[in-house]
Amino acid sequence: MRVVVTGASGFIGSQLSALLRSMNEEVTEIDLPHCDINNTARLTRVLDEVRPVRVYHLAAQASVRRSWEDPARTWLTNAWGTLSLLRAVRSVCPSARTIVMSSASVFDGARLDSPIGEERVPAPLSPYGASKLAVETMARHYLTRYGLPAIVIRPFNVIGPAQGADYLVPALARRLASAKRSGGTHISVGNLDARRDYLDVRDAVRGLRMLMEHGSPGEVYNLCSGIGVPVRTIVQTMISLVDPRLQYRQDPGLNRGADAPSLIGDTRKTWLRTGWRASTPLATSLADILGAAGVITSEARVVTASATGGATPQRSFD
């Protein structure tokens, strides 16, 4: 099966490409510097050569912090880049099933305590969240107007080894590594009370593959664990894995001014459609991230995986 993955060298894209190849799918990677998704003519030529039957559109400027620093680049990459991709797909392979990646950040201006279902009205605040809502609108437009079978996915906080240092968990791993090397006694942290829904990247790419197979064009699906975890728990768990003697101190300079207190997804719709559930325990994900950063040993990672027992607790859908 011929498949295209944009953003294929990125954190999620690289894992997805590896998974698809392991399933004997013929993957064509589209990414910088070889093909800029904003170059519609070049993108159209690549798709014309490949003639894919499935397209995973993951290319994006995915940092909320960078979106505040450079809103124009965020809108150009995310909104215009998606429009460019959809135009190329419509021109060359209009029947190709196409996954368009949105984000739980379409709710980053909301004040929601309960799990967020796909039917909730988005309330973006950051330039990143707003650009991703525009992406969703474009996908609906191309389905309604041209019949392009686009499926929108809203991932929540995807984590795992090789994630960029702009994000919370790898940033914490970097600070812990620095403290361990230097003999430091503490690390600095930001807002500890925000609750987030963390999903291991290996579960995320498995979910993407299943939604490509079974999702309905025109629908939006959450990709999440359905479990809210305070940042404080993330910090304490990572410290316990590295060195329980380490302390943490809050630094107001690390707080993001406009942060929703809680972003937790409802997994029901995705589960009912595909049977997919997150299965990697959070402690295992954190241990693997610390191991990749050289902070803990492979032996410690094995012990952590054994101690967590297997599956992450799941919500009941009875």
Domains of the chain: 2-157+199-223 (3.40.50.720), 159-196+227-263+279-308 (3.90.25.10)
Tens-digit pLDDT profile for residues 38-56: 999 999 999 999 999 999 9
Intra-chain end-to-end CA distance of the chain, in Å: 36
Q: How far is CA 45 from the centre of its chain?
A: 28
CA distance 135 to 150: 11
The separation between CA 199 and the C-alpha centre of its own chain, rounded to angstroms, equals 8
Query: Is the separation of the CB atoms in 246 and 240 below 8 Å?
Result: no
**Positions of the chain with pLDDT under 50:** 309-318
pLDDT the model gives residue 310: 44
Question: Can you point out the beta strands (E) in 168-299?
Answer: 186-189, 195-200, 220-223, 228-230, 247-250, 262-263
Distance separating alpha carbons of residues 302 and 160, to the nearest angstrom: 16
For residue 304, what pLDDT is reported? 61
pLDDT of residue 170: 94
Count of Cβ atoms closer than 10 Å to residue 54 Cβ: 21
Task: Return the pLDDT at 260.
Answer: 79
Give the per-residue pLDDT at 123: 93
pLDDT at 52: 98
Structure-token pair, residue 283? 């402690």
Bridge partners of 100, per DSSP, are: 57, 152
Distance, in Å, from the CA atom of 105 to the CA atom of 123, rounded to the nearest integer, reads: 9
> How many C-beta atoms surround the C-beta of residue 177 within 10 A?
17
C-alpha–C-alpha distance, residues 107 and 115, integer Å: 12
- For residue 158, the tally of other CB atoms under 10 A from its CB is 27
DSSP string, 8-25: TTSHHHHHHHHHHHHTT-
